[in-house]
């Protein structure tokens, strides 16, 4: 139950890791949340993986979060005569709606939304930014460009439009079908791709309601113009460095990552850093030094979670990749400079008793050298407040709501136990002390700090802070 680290790990499941045995190994190695990539796999296969995760959850007794990551709109070229061609620097290249196979002078771009959004001077990026075009003219459904950076190009390569807000909804027909399916399964988080503006999050929220938490993936530069509003509308955000690194100059991505983490932390919303964190471990049993530093820097910045993609989904060493991430997190979190970095960031406290008590619990625990802060929560809001304070003291969350425990598994420092709610004040103290001892958060004579709401079972009513000392009777089963 006690991970001995606060930074959480998300592992993507795929061909290398979709069986129950491997999922169990990934969980034991340190995976707190499993990601289902809805861009790949049939619904029947995803349903089997979901069931396997839930079986592992029963076996381990640890709440496991499941993130269903929607594909989002995919902008792609048409096909070429001979399946490929070569573009040279300085040449003219035309994009149009003609379905005829293309050549070195033109190709089909079957997305009318792009023609509406671009203008002369706009950049178009093809094949993850390997090919760069500069628009010289837009005439209806014909875009004339000059090739800035040429090279080989083949069928159906991706298209990125970094400087334009496209008139596209974040949810496609496929996304809506996938969403209906995963909500029926009971996933805990939904990853929303292609977020360009706050309205995209609102649209998804109207469909999802409270059936799952919404994680907005920040991969479009346009989303950064409304960053705080998107964060406020989301339950969590992700620094999705894949498309972000294509649509922005790569040297700008580290600064954007730090900015997103900083803004999310101030708002008290969980934040995930993703993409190519241990990329070499797709084929290597050990990461590179640069990758270790990349993971460490995200942890130093205070991210809630770090994510593995192909490393755990399709790589040769999925369990080893999770193990390395856990080792890096444990090591970095012991560094004095890590604590100094966390303490520099001020959180935004609201004038409520819940926020006041969460901030006070951190200070009281530190003064008493308490071994745990125990938070009773139904909705999860109290636990989120406790995590936002980034205390040195271990955080133990007790909740009667299994869904809440699973969702909170993505959040910094939260160790969640699904248990019955307290029946009265003394039962609250006894239960907190007993569970702290059971899961090795405290021993005899240790102090713990408890926050809860009265009356019990009422969401959003954190109004009690109690100091307790572990007594002999708390150690009995």
217, 256, 385, 406: the active-site residue: 217
12, 85, 145, 275: the active-site residue: 275
Can you tell me the distance from the alpha carbon of 76 to that of 370, in angstroms, rounded to the nearest whole number? 56
Can you tell me the distance from the alpha carbon of 191 to that of 213, in angstroms, rounded to the nearest whole number? 9
Check whether the bond before 325 is cis (ω within 30° of 0). no
475 is known as an active-site residue: no
Which residue intervals of 414-466 are DSSP H helices?
A: 425-438
Phi, psi for residue 395 in degrees, rounded to 5: -110, 120
- Read off the tokens for 59: 């076996």
Torsion sign, CA atoms 18, 237, 202, 76: negative
25, 76, 130, 142: the active-site residue: 76
Q: Are 37 and 61 in contact (CB under 8 A)?
A: no
Can you tell me the distance from the alpha carbon of 181 to that of 207, in angstroms, rounded to the nearest whole number? 12
406 is known as an active-site residue: no
Can you tell me the distance from the alpha carbon of 398 to that of 136, in angstroms, rounded to the nearest whole number? 60
Phi, psi for residue 115 in degrees, rounded to 5: -60, -30
451 is known as an active-site residue: no
Q: Are 468 and 430 in contact (CB under 8 A)?
A: no
Instruction: Name the residue among 9, 219, 17 with its Cα closest to residue 129.
Output: 219
Instruction: Name the residue among 128, 163, 126, 165 with its Cα closest to residue 148.
Output: 126
Can you tell me the distance from the alpha carbon of 191 to that of 186, in angstroms, rounded to the nearest whole number? 14
- Read off the tokens for 266: 């101030």
Phi, psi for residue 25 in degrees, rounded to 5: -65, -40
| Residue 179 CA: distances (Å) to CA of 12, 209, 240, 267 | 18, 12, 20, 27
Torsion sign, CA atoms 352, 354, 359, 360: positive
431 is known as an active-site residue: no
Instruction: Name the residue among 409, 332, 414, 324 with its Cα closest to residue 29.
Output: 324
Instruction: Name the residue among 136, 248, 232, 90 with its Cα closest to residue 240.
Output: 248
Residue appearing with tokens 């192909």: 310
Q: Catalytic amino acids? A: 35, 76, 217, 275
């Amino acid at each position: 139950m006690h991970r001995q680290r606060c930074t959480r790990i998300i592992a993507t499941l795929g061909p290398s890791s979709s069986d129950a045995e491997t999922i169990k190994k990934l969980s034991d190695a340190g995976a707190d949340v499993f990601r289902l990539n809805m861009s790949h796999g049939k619904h029947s296969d995803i349903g089997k993986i979901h069931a396997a995760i839930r079986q592992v959850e029963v076996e381990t007794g640890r709440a496991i979060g499941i993130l269903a990551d929607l594909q989002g709109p995919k902008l792609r070229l048409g096909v070429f005569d001979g399946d490929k061609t070569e573009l040279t620097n300085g040449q003219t290249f035309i994009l149009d709606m003609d379905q005829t196979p293309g050549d070195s002078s033109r190709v089909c771009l079957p997305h009318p939304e792009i023609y509406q959004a671009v203008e002369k001077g706009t950049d178009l990026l093809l094949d993850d930014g390997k090919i760069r075009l500069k628009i010289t003219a837009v005439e209806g459904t014909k875009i004339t460009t000059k090739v800035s950076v040429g090279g080989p190009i083949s069928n159906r390569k991706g298209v990125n439009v970094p400087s334009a807000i496209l008139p596209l909804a974040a949810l496609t027909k496929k996304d809506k079908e996938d969403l209906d399916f995963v909500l029926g399964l009971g996933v805990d988080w939904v990853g929303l791709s292609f977020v360009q503006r706050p309205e995209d999050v609102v649209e998804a929220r109207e469909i999802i309601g409270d059936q799952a938490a919404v994680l907005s993936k920040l991969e479009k530069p346009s989303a950064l113009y409304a960053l705080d509003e998107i964060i406020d509308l989301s339950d969590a955000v992700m620094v999705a460095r894949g498309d972000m690194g294509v649509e922005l100059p790569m040297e700008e991505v580290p600064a954007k990552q730090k900015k997103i983490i900083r803004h999310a932390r101030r708002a008290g919303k969980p934040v995930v850093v993703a993409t190519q964190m241990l990329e070499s471990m797709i084929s290597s049993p050990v990461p590179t030094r640069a990758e270790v530093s990349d993971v460490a820097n995200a942890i130093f910045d205070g991210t809630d979670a770090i994510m593995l993609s192909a490393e755990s989904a399709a790589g040769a060493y999925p369990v080893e990749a999770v193990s390395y991430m856990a080792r890096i997190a444990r090591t970095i979190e012991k560094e004095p400079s890590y604590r100094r970095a966390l303490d520099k960031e001020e959180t935004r406290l609201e004038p409520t008793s819940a926020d006041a008590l969460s901030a006070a619990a951190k200070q009281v625990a530190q003064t008493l050298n308490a071994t745990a802060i125990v938070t009773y929560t139904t909705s999860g809001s109290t636990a989120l407040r406790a995590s936002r304070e980034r205390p040195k003291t271990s955080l133990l969350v007790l909740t009667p709501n299994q869904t809440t425990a699973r969702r909170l598994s993505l959040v910094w420092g939260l160790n969640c136990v699904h248990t019955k709610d307290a029946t009265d004040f003394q039962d609250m103290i006894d239960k907190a002390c007993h569970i702290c001892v059971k899961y090795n958060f405290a021993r005899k004579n240790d102090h713990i700090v408890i926050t809860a709401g009265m009356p019990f079972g009422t969401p959003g009513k954190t109004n009690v802070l109690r100091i307790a000392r572990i007594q002999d009777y708390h150690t009995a089963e």
